[in-house]
């Protein structure tokens, strides 16, 4: 089993936190990078600059130098961020940090980074926040036998969800969802786990069988969102499908990878909070 752990934190302020209007977690992702650099630089147990840079890249911007079988230059991060406002006046936010594989061993390190974020300031006004760690939960996967109908709710847009060069924004076919899920799981496991997924799964058969699953859009459509980088000024398109899809067919071969879907954000910019899904058989 590929280990997953969820950490929950609360950020509160007497005023509006001033987060990104379309995807609030984006603001935390930007602050996370700055806080991560501060924690690493000030850590007495990481004195060498080369070691500091290596640790920063490992957590925040891992890149493929040829040791991993991936088509991507930028590798999957060992975490994703997501969350929601806990007050209607937007003065309190619950941030969820999901850790994968070996990153779980560094929970104390992530706690410190998140705490530093709170007093460095959040949002457009650099709002200093009251910080509290709420919980830490090891994920126990639900491996119940599948039925012939799967409901997937896309809570945040799956940005740049591609299949054979085409980007899907108005709906998400199962033959797009399943390959992206499996590929992401395999990459995460190869980098941060023991690399057993690729040995145990018949990936070719899964991707072929995924084409036999029918899909229906229950509700939703394209959710338009963008981000402008505070560091480079570059505009990023984060638009994607938000809503509910219903899939019909034989899901037995997909039983194990589908267990991970609620925890593995899909599509581009998944670490920004994009591609957050829930799933249930009905």
Q: Is the C-alpha dihedral spanning 190, 73, 111, 40 positive or negative?
A: positive
Residues of the chain with CATH 3.30.70.1900: 149-281
CA dihedral 281, 252, 170, 70 (to 10 degrees): 130
Collapsing DSSP to helix, strand or coil, 90 comes out as coil
Question: What CATH class does 149-281 carry?
Answer: alpha beta
Question: What CATH class does 4-138 carry?
Answer: alpha beta
Q: What is the pLDDT of residues 190-235, one digit of tens each?
A: 888 888 877 788 999 999 999 999 999 999 999 998 887 766 677 8
Q: What is the pLDDT of residues 8-36, one digit of tens each?
A: 999 999 988 889 888 999 999 888 888 88
């Amino acid at each position: 089993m590929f280990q997953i752990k969820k950490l929950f934190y609360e950020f509160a302020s007497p005023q509006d936190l001033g987060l990104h209007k379309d995807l609030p977690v984006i603001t935390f992702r930007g602050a996370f990078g700055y806080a991560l650099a501060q924690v690493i630089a000030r850590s007495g147990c990481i004195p060498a600059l080369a070691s500091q840079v290596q640790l920063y890249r490992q957590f925040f911007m891992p890149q493929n130098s040829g040791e991993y079988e991936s088509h991507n230059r930028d590798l999957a991060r060992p975490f994703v961020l997501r969350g929601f406002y806990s007050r209607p006046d937007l003065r309190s936010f619950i941030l969820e940090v999901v850790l994968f594989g070996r990153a779980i061993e560094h929970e104390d390190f992530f706690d410190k980074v998140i705490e530093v974020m709170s007093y460095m300031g959040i949002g457009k006004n650099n709002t200093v926040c009251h910080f509290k760690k709420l919980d830490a939960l090891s994920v126990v996967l639900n491996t119940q036998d599948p039925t012939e109908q799967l409901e997937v709710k896309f809570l945040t847009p799956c940005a740049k969800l591609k299949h054979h060069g085409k980007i899907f924004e108005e709906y998400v076919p199962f033959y797009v969802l399943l390959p992206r899920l499996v590929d992401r799981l395999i990459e995460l496991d190869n980098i941060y786990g023991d690399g057993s997924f690729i040995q145990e799964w018949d990936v070719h058969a899964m991707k072929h069988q995924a084409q036999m699953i029918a899909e229906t859009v229950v509700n939703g459509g394209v959710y338009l969102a963008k981000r402008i980088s505070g560091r480079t000024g570059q505009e990023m398109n984060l638009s994607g499908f938000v809503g509910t899809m219903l899939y019909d067919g034989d899901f037995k071969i997909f039983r194990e990878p589908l267990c991970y879907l609620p925890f593995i954000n899909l599509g581009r910019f998944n670490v920004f909070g994009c591609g957050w899904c829930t799933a249930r058989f009905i």
